[in-house]
Amino acid sequence: MSLDFSYRHLYYFWVMAHEGGIARAAARLGMAVQTVSAQVRELERSLGQSLLKPAGRGLVLTEAGQAALRQADQIFALGERLPALVRDAVSAPQLRLAVGISDGLPKLAVRRLLQPVLETPNLRLLCHEDEFDGLLADLALHRLDVVLADRAAPPNRNLKVYNHPLGSSPLAWYAPPALRSAALQDFPRSLAQVPVLLPTTHAAVRQRLDAWFERQALRPRLVGEFEDNALLVTFGAAGMGVFPAPMLLDDKLQSRYEVRRLAACEGVDEQFFAIATEKKVQHPLVQRLLPAGSA
What is the Cβ-side half-sphere exposure of residue 123, based on CA atoms within 13 angstroms? Answer: 18
- Residue 237 lies inside a defined structural domain of this protein: yes
Sequence-distant (≥ 6) Cβ neighbours of residue 107 within 8 angstroms: 101, 228, 229, 230
Domain end point (choices 86, 104, 128):
86
Q: Kindly report whether the peptide bond that precedes residue 188 is cis, defined as omega within 30 degrees of 0.
A: yes
**123 and 264 share one domain:** yes
Whether 82 and 100 share a structural domain: no
In this structure, are 82 and 99 located in the same domain?
no
Claim to verify: residue 277 and residue 256 sit in the same structural domain: yes
Angle at 71 between CA 73 and CA 84, to 5 degrees: 45
Do residues 131 and 216 both lie within one domain?
yes
110 in the same domain as 66 = no
Tell me if 1 is assigned to some domain: no
- Answer yes or no: are the C-beta atoms of 241 and 235 closer than 8 Å: yes
pLDDT score at 247: 96
pTM here is 0.68
What pLDDT, on the 0 to 100 scale, is given for residue 95? 84
pLDDT at 89: 65
Report the DSSP beta bridge partners of residue 243. Answer: 174
User: Is there a domain that residue 71 lies in?
Assistant: yes
CATH number at residue 221: 3.40.190.290
Residue 156 neighbours by CB under 8 Å, 6+ apart: none
Q: Say if 149 falls within a structural domain.
A: yes
Residue 243: the pLDDT is 98
Q: What pLDDT sits at residue 6? A: 84
Shared-domain flag, residues 158 and 284: yes
Domain boundary among 86, 114, 140: 86
Q: What is the total count of domains within the chain?
A: 2
pLDDT at 1: 42
Q: pLDDT tens track of the chain, all 295 residues? A: 445 678 888 899 999 888 888 888 888 888 898 998 898 899 889 888 998 888 887 888 999 989 988 888 888 888 887 787 777 666 656 688 999 999 889 988 999 999 999 988 889 999 999 999 899 989 988 889 999 999 999 887 777 888 999 999 999 999 999 999 999 999 999 999 999 999 999 899 999 999 999 999 999 999 999 998 899 999 999 999 999 999 999 999 999 999 999 999 999 999 999 999 877 778 899 999 988 656 5
Domain residues for the domain of 71 are: 7-86
Whether 2 is in a domain gets the answer no
Among 31, 59, 86, where does a domain finish? 86
